[in-house]
């Protein structure tokens, strides 16, 4: 492969100007998502307000509406946005508390009290058949 072909493959035709038809188009590598939680919607997360968490992987998912669509669930990171400590779910208060520096978050992930600078990160919810998967 000569220099022009290399640049066409790596940077694309628009960055180089003109590439021959023989040059391959650069491809975007697939994104490898990490699975945080998997749930069977036939037996898990059946009622609004029901939740699952995986503190080892740092994820929380809650049913917030009826139906088995991604919009019926909320998935959050259990890592504090201040220093990455694993936060604890306080179900009775519907909050998350950080044991390291005292940050608090509402159950929807919104920052309630710092020193955390922002809301909790959200994860993607995918549903295939009766299987819910939280990925990030």
Q: How far apart are CA 75 and CA 81, in angstroms?
A: 15
64 and 95 in a single domain? The answer is yes
Is pLDDT above 50 for 24?
Answer: no
What gap in Å lies between CA 83 and CA 39, rounded to an integer?
29
User: Is pLDDT of 109 > 70?
Assistant: yes
Instruction: State how many domains the chain has.
Output: 2
Residues 14 and 78 in one domain: no
Question: Is residue 65 domain-shared with residue 95, that is, in the same domain?
Answer: yes
Cα separation of 136 and 123, whole Å?
A: 5
- Dihedral over Cα of 99, 103, 106, 111: its sign: negative
Separation between Cα atoms, residue 127 and residue 135, nearest integer Å: 11
Same domain assignment for residues 72 and 112: yes
pTM of the model: 0.72
Quote the distance between the C-alpha of residue 105 and its chain's center.
Answer: 17
The CATH number that applies at residue 129 is 2.102.10.10
Which has the higher per-residue pLDDT, 22 or 106? 106
Instruction: Mark whether 63 and 94 lie in a shared domain.
Output: yes
CB 104 within 8 A of CB 113: yes
How do residues 62-107 score in pLDDT, each as one tens digit? 999 999 999 999 999 999 999 999 999 999 999 999 999 999 999 9
Choose among 106, 108, 97, 127: nearest CA to 62: 108
Mean pLDDT of the chain: 83
The answer to whether residues 57 and 78 belong to one domain is yes
Lowest mean pLDDT among 12-21, 56-65, 97-106: 12-21
Residues 100-115, mean pLDDT to the nearest whole number? 95
Local structure of residue 28 (DSSP, 8 states)? P
pLDDT digits (tens, 9 = 90+) for 35-56: 889 999 999 999 999 999 998 8
Question: Where in the sequence is the domain holding 15, given as residue range(s)?
Answer: 1-30
């Amino acid at each position: 492969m000569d220099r022009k072909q290399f640049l066409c493959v790596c940077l694309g035709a628009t960055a180089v100007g003109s590439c021959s038809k023989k040059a391959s188009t650069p491809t975007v590598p697939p994104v490898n998502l990490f699975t945080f939680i998997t749930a069977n919607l036939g037996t898990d997360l059946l009622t609004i307000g029901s939740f699952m968490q995986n503190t080892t992987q740092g994820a929380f998912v809650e049913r917030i509406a009826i139906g088995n669509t991604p919009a019926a669930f909320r998935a959050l990171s259990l890592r504090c946005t201040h220093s990455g400590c694993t936060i604890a779910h306080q179900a009775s208060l519907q909050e998350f508390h950080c044991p390291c520096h005292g940050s608090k978050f509402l159950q929807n992930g919104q920052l309630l009290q710092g020193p955390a600078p922002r809301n909790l990160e959200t994860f993607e919810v995918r549903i295939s058949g009766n299987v819910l998967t939280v990925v990030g």
